[in-house]
Amino acid sequence: MAKFVLEVNKLTKKYGERAAVDNVSFEIIEGEIFGLIGPNGAGKTTIIKMITGLATPTNGEIYIDGISLKKHFEKAISRLGGIIENPDLYSYMTGMENLKFFASLYPNITQEKIDSVVKLVGMEKRINDRVRNYSLGMKQRVGIAQALLHDPKILILDEPTNGLDPNGIRDMRKFLIGLSRKKHISILVSSHILSEMEQLCDTVAIIDGGKILQIKTLEQIKRGLQEGQKVCIKVDYPNYAGKLVILKYKIPVSLAGKTIMFNMEDSKIPEVTTMLMKEGISIYGINTITKTLEEVFTEMLEQQHNKGQIR
């Protein structure tokens, strides 16, 4: 059985009467990049703070590498590395001085280990410059190097692309994917920008109002988008063509002018067009309309709000 690197079970955090995080459960396996995605105020940082020991859950359990955070705090926390909101670096020191300082807080971290994490984050050339002269992206990298010093099983990053420019975001994405593939390290990452997560994560949990609305793998999401795709075919005899599609595929077809429209995935389109042409229909154009992930996500949040389940 796959062992979970992180297991969160029915986690709740209340501030007064209000639940900032409400009965949240998910698991992360080795090497998986798992995204918490949701608008501002959704509860992402609060979840991450509980996992990293910066906030105490009102209810629920957290296991890091199978170890209960509540029962064996130090042992459990030693298996994770995290950056919450911003990397905690001293700006008057160099990147290397920062890493040496943090290394000194742990037993047995060698200079070789420090050099290896510097290399891993691609900061060899600039590591002896002062942090105050770093770009935000460089600070993030040194922060991640620091979080990796003690060989954690899971790296936790709260909105790591916040404030980065498009190039910085792309570099960060490539770096994190490389890290998970090369080092088999699991990564928990949060963001309020869906398109970033879409390209980074293996699995995403969509969260709003402190609740998880859905957990899906990227494969499931992409398949769902394909299935929801609308195919539009412009023909000479739309009524007849529409009937043919209805009879053959048992799916609803709508008409608009000379165009017939129905839901269908790409792989079946050639079969449909061949069938229509064999029946003597002329085809003047084909188009597909796919919802973007952003649209699906927005619709999902709107539906939840309309149901009154949130706030």
Ligand X SMILES: Nc1ncnc2c1ncn2[C@@H]1O[C@H](COP(=O)(O)OP(=O)(O)O)[C@@H](O)[C@H]1O
Using CB under 5 A as the criterion, which residues of the chain lie in contact with Mg ion when the complex forms? 44-45
Which of Mg ion, ligand X, none does 203 bind, CB closer than 5 to 8 A by kind?
Answer: none
Contact pattern for ligand X over residues 38 through 77, marking x by CB under 6 A: x-xxxxxxx-------------------------------
Rg for the chain (alpha carbons), in Å? Answer: 25
Task: Among 5, 6, 11, 20, indicate the residue that binds ligand X (CB under 6 A).
Answer: 20
Q: Tell me: does residue 157 bind ligand X (CB under 6 A).
A: no
Could you tell which of Mg ion, ligand X, none binds residue 43, using a CB distance below 5 to 8 A set by kind?
ligand X
User: Residue 259 binds which one of Mg ion, ligand X, none, with CB within 5 to 8 A depending on kind?
Assistant: none
Shortest distance (Å) from residue 164 CB to Mg ion: 16
Is residue 108 within the footprint of ligand X (CB under 6 A)?
A: no
Q: Which of 40, 3, 27 is nearest to 210 (CA)?
A: 40
Interaction partner, residue 253 (Mg ion, ligand X, none; CB < 5-8 Å by kind) = none
User: Between the CA of residue 254 and those of 73, 181, 237, 249, 295, what are the distances in Å?
Assistant: 59, 46, 13, 14, 22
Pull the structure tokens for residue 16: 């007064």
Say whether residue 209 binds ligand X (CB under 6 A). Answer: no
Between residues 20 and 103, which has the closer beta carbon with respect to ligand X? 20
Q: By C-beta, is 62 or 148 nearer to ligand X?
A: 62
Q: How many CB atoms lie within 10 A of CB 160?
A: 26
- Contact positions vs ligand X (CB under 6 A): 15, 20, 38, 40-46
